């Protein structure tokens, strides 16, 4: 299973399914032939995309070429030169001699180290980075007849995205700590695999000079393929030994064949492969935004709440965050419809807390406003904050007040600390949040059509009111209630809801009064 010479990767094209070697896959990506890769799981798409971008950009740079549209022979020759070996061991899935590297599997310093290897995974998905608390979100070890590309994707996912997972299982350097996550944020002008890859490679080459200047310690001829050199589990690379496009590994793992099946063997390490703990994930990776509001920059870590509108607003409008370089438009992308893309596999302590992703369309008119700067961008930024604040106010000052009153059977004074009803209230509030989150950016983009900002905001307030009212009516029909005080509870809840809205947003009351008088 030599990835450089054998057809390993399944791809979907306009002509149907094909299976290609790695160099042939890169050539097909450059030829706009690849629509998708069927063997790739959703959470593996970004690790594989970034892997291919770093690999191709490095080959192009070392060859003195900038156009990613190259032939299969070009990629084969370039990858072999980059590897610097007289064999293809570093690109072969199973290599019996452990003193040689295998694909994404570091060479071991001596054959005696083999005795320290222990069974780790019998299927690619078991090797992957999806630890779940109770094995119910995505089942592990379910790929009973895995193909070679599935093992390749799992290795890339593990070695480039893993966090800390117990003693001897260190995470990657491109995240802010072992329990952090590695987000992927970018603009996309073409959502096909080919279009996305071509943009990524071109943007990397344009960014490379910046990564070779101070304060970055990287070397123009530094190490790229970190698995090709022996690793005893003790030594670490320093950043000044690396190329800015280095492809890292986090674990000592080897694939072996047992009873006509592949099995992953592993052993713990005593140190991380890259000595970069003090970097806090700030490694120059152009897909990772940075927290800018603290004394020291840190890589963005997404919480279990995921890609909320609040976080997306901060990412898009650079509010307390330094944007990822990949989310900045190239000159030829301004004035064209694009997508803002973000994804992250949120990690907890020994668990995976959910994979989150979003493709947010940015129409031409919005793109001019966002990327052109000036008054239009400032206006969008101002309304984006007001829209979020209004949603929080409706939820906390109107909807929750009504819900607590409903569940407490219409008391004269609402007890907001009553634990017995808090879970019910929080669930309804979550339903409201999901409802308005789906429409938030559509509304925000439409505000460009309004001459009056206040009218744009009134539209949003009315939408929030209607969505909150639907949640309240659902709660009245569904949630438990005291039979003897049913009528009082419902009337009191409705009264508190509308009364609180009028108090918090007098403009809504003025609009309603104006319509009634007309």
- Compute the radius of gyration of the chain from its Cα atoms: 27
DSSP state of 255: E
List, run by run, the mean pLDDT of 10-residue segments along the chain (518 residues).
96 91 97 92 95 98 97 98 96 94 90 75 84 42 72 95 85 90 95 95 97 95 95 93 97 90 90 93 97 85 93 94 94 89 84 87 94 91 97 96 83 67 88 96 96 93 96 85 68 90 90 74
In order, the DSSP letters of 434-478 are HHHHHHHHHHHHHGGG-S-HHHHHHHHHHHHHHHHHHHHHHHHHH
Pair of tokens at residue 244: 């800015």
Report d(CA 428, CA 321) in Å as an integer: 31
Task: Specify the DSSP element, H or E, that contains 432.
Answer: helix 419-446
pLDDT at 121: 86
Q: Distance between CA 378 and CA 451 in Å, rounded?
A: 14
C-beta neighbour count of 453 within 10 angstroms: 13
- What's the pLDDT score for residue 140? 47
Please state whether the peptide bond connecting residue 215 to the residue before it is cis, i.e. omega within 30 degrees of 0: yes
513 backbone dihedrals φ, ψ, rounded to 5°: -65, -40
Angle of helix 453-478 versus helix 419-446 axis, rounded to 10:
150
Residue-level pLDDT at 135: 39
Domains, in order of start, for the chain: 9-361 (no CATH), 373-517 (1.10.132)
Looking at residue 408, what is its pLDDT?
A: 80
For 240, the token pair is: 């000044």
DSSP letter at 321 equals E
Work out the angle at residue 195's Cα, subtended by the Cα atoms of residues 190 and 196, and round it to the nearest 5 degrees: 85
Give residues with Cβ within 8 angstroms of 164, minimum separation 6: 170, 171, 177, 178, 179
What per-residue confidence (pLDDT) applies to 418?
67
> Residue 169: its pLDDT value, please?
85
d(CA 317, CA 140): 38
Spatial contact of 335 and 368, defined as CB atoms under 8 Å apart: yes
Question: What pLDDT shows up at residue 481?
Answer: 65
Provide the token pair at 2: 């030599």
Listed residue (219, 217, 249) closest to 236, CA to CA: 249
Closest CA to 137 of 145, 148, 129, 127: 129
Query: What are the start-end ranges of the H helices in 65-170?
Result: 72-83, 124-127, 148-161
Phi-psi region at 509: left, alpha or beta (left = phi > 0; alpha = psi -120 to 50): alpha
d(CA 250, CA 99): 18
Helix (H, G, I), strand (E, B) or coil at 109: coil
Q: Is the dihedral of CA 106, 112, 117, 123 positive or negative?
A: positive
Q: How far is CA 102 from CA 56, 89, 485, in A?
A: 19, 5, 71
Q: What is the pLDDT of residue 113?
A: 66
Phi, psi of 351 (to 5 degrees): -135, 165
Give the pTM.
0.92
**Alpha-carbon span 226 to 3, nearest angstrom:** 17
């Amino acid at each position: 299973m030599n990835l450089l010479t054998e057809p390993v990767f399944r791809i979907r094209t306009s002509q149907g399914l094909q299976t290609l070697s790695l160099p042939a896959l890169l050539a097909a990506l450059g030829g706009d032939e690849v629509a998708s890769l069927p063997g790739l799981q959703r959470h593996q798409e970004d690790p594989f995309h970034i892997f291919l971008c770093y690999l191709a950009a490095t080959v192009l740079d070392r060859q003195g070429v900038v156009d990613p549209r190259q032939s299969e022979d070009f990629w084969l020759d370039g990858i072999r030169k980059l590897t610097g070996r007289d064999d293809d061991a570093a690109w072969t899935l199973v290599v019996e001699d452990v003193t040689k590297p295998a694909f994404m599997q570091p060479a071991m310093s001596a054959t005696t180290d083999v005795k320290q290897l222990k069974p780790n995974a019998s299927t690619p998905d078991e090797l992957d980075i999806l630890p779940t608390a109770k094995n119910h979100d995505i089942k592990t070890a379910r790929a009973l007849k895995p193909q070679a590309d599935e093992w390749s994707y799992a290795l890339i996912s593990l070695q480039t995205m893993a966090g800390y997972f117990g003693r001897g299982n260190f995470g990657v350097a491109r995240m802010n700590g072992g329990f952090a996550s590695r987000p992927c944020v970018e603009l996309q002008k073409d959502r096909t695999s080919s279009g996305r890859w071509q943009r990524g490679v071109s943007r990397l080459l344009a960014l490379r000079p910046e990564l070779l200047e101070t304060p970055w310690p990287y070397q123009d001829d530094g190490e790229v393929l970190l698995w090709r050199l022996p690793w005893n589990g003790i030594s670490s690379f320093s950043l000044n030994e690396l190329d800015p496009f280095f492809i890292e590994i986090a674990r000592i793992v080897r694939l072996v064949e047992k009873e006509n099946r592949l099995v992953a063997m592993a052993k713990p390490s005593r140190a991380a492969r890259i000595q970069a703990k003090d970097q806090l994930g700030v490694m120059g990776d152009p897909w990772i935004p940075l927290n800018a509001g603290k004394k020291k920059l840190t890589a963005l870590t997404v919480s279990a709440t995921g890609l909320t509108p609040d976080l997306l607003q901060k990412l898009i409008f650079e509010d307390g965050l330094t944007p990822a370089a990949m989310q900045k438009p190239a000159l030829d992308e301004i004035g064209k419809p694009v997508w803002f893309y973000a994804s992250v596999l949120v990690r907890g302590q020994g668990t995976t807390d959910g994979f989150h992703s979003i493709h947010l369309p940015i129409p031409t008119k919005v793109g001019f406003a966002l990327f052109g700067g000036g008054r239009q961008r400032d206006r969008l930024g101002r309304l984006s904050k007001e829209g979020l604040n209004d949603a929080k106010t409706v939820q906390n000052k109107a909807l929750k007040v009504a819900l607590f009153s409903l569940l407490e059977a219409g008391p004269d004074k609402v007890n907001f600390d009553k634990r017995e009803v808090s879970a019910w209230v929080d669930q309804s509030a979550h339903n409201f949040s999901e409802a308005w989150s789906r429409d938030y950016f559509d509304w925000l983009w439409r505000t460009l059509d309004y001459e009056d900002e206040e009218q744009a905001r009134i539209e949003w307030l009315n939408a929030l009111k209607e969505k909150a009212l639907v949640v309240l009516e659902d709660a009245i029909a569904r949630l438990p209630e005291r039979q003897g005080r049913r009528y009082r509870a419902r009337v009191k809840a409705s009264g508190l809801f509308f009364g609180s809205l009028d108090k918090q947003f007098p403009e809504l009351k003025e609009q309603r009064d104006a319509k009634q008088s007309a």
